[in-house]
Amino acid sequence: MSLRVTQPVWQLIEGYARSAYPEECCGALIGEPPSDFDRPGRLVEATDARAFGNAWESGARGTRYQVEPSELARLERELAGTGRAIVGWYHTHPDVPAWPSPYDLLRSWPCYSYLIVSVVDRRAVDARSWMRSEDGKDFVAEPFEAV
Ligand SMILES: [Zn+2]
């Protein structure tokens, strides 16, 4: 399993990360799901990203994110029938490492890539991608690159 994003997508995410700091930002990674999307060895390439509002109230946005449900529904309608779909999610960790929190695990789904970007002083200093383990008890790191 691994996640690849195109440079323009990475630049979008970096920009969102900078402007949301010191709050967390979040959004969807979009691409063509490979036929083995649900298999452990799969490679996913994100060719687009969509920023979503963080649905938490402002006091909680520094440490957690919640995708705005209406924006998610709108994106899914847009993607229907295009061959493209949500292949993963990104969110930022302001001033903390790019390791998933217990909360991130609790709110995760199988198969998707979860890209976490650590942001310090409005700069993306680290980015790591994770996938939920098959038993749902943990996240497993997966190779990540911006190409
Ligand atoms: Zn997180």
CA of 81 to the centre of ligand 1 (A): 31
Domain count, the chain: 1
Q: In which domain, by residue range, is 85 found?
A: 2-146
Q: What is the predicted pLDDT for the residue at 12?
A: 96
**Share above pLDDT 70 across residues of the chain, in percent, rounded to a whole number:** 100
Instruction: Give the angle 98-7-144 at the CA atoms, nearest 5°.
Output: 40
Mean pLDDT, to the nearest integer, of 18-34? Answer: 95
126 φ/ψ angles, rounded to the nearest 5 degrees:
-160, 150
Mean pLDDT, to the nearest integer, of 7-15? Answer: 97
Mean pLDDT, to the nearest integer, of 54-61? Answer: 81
Neighbour tally for 137: CB within 10 Å: 8
Q: Give the closest residue to 49 by CA, choosing from 83, 20, 15.
A: 15
CA of 101 to the centre of ligand 1 (A): 5
Mean pLDDT, to the nearest integer, of 48-77? Answer: 88
Q: For 105-128, how does the pLDDT look when each residue is reduced to its tens digit (9 = 90+)?
A: 999 999 999 999 999 999 999 999
CA of 137 to the centre of ligand 1 (A): 16
Mean pLDDT, to the nearest integer, of 126-136? Answer: 95
Tokens 């198969």 belong to residue: 111
Instruction: Give the pLDDT band of residue 7 (cuts 50, 70, 90).
Output: very high
Mean pLDDT over all residues of the chain? 94
CA of 6 to the centre of ligand 1 (A): 22
CA of 120 to the centre of ligand 1 (A): 15
CA of 37 to the centre of ligand 1 (A): 23
Helix (H) / strand (E) containing 113: strand 113-120
Tell me the CA distances in angstroms from 78 to 5, 81, 124, 146, one per residue in order: 20, 8, 29, 25
Tokens 């209406």 belong to residue: 70
Q: What is the predicted pLDDT for the residue at 36?
A: 94
CA of 116 to the centre of ligand 1 (A): 7
Q: What is the predicted pLDDT for the residue at 59?
A: 81
Q: What is the predicted pLDDT for the residue at 121?
A: 96
Q: For 39-56, how does the pLDDT look when each residue is reduced to its tens digit (9 = 90+)?
A: 888 999 999 999 998 878
Q: What is the CATH number of the domain that holds 69?
A: 3.40.140.10
Mean pLDDT, to the nearest integer, of 5-22? Answer: 96
CA distance linking residue 59 with residue 6, whole number of Å: 33
CA of 28 to the centre of ligand 1 (A): 14
Strands across the sheet with 144-146, in order? 43-46, 2-5, 144-146
Q: Give the closest residue to 24 by CA, choosing from 134, 82, 107, 80.
A: 107
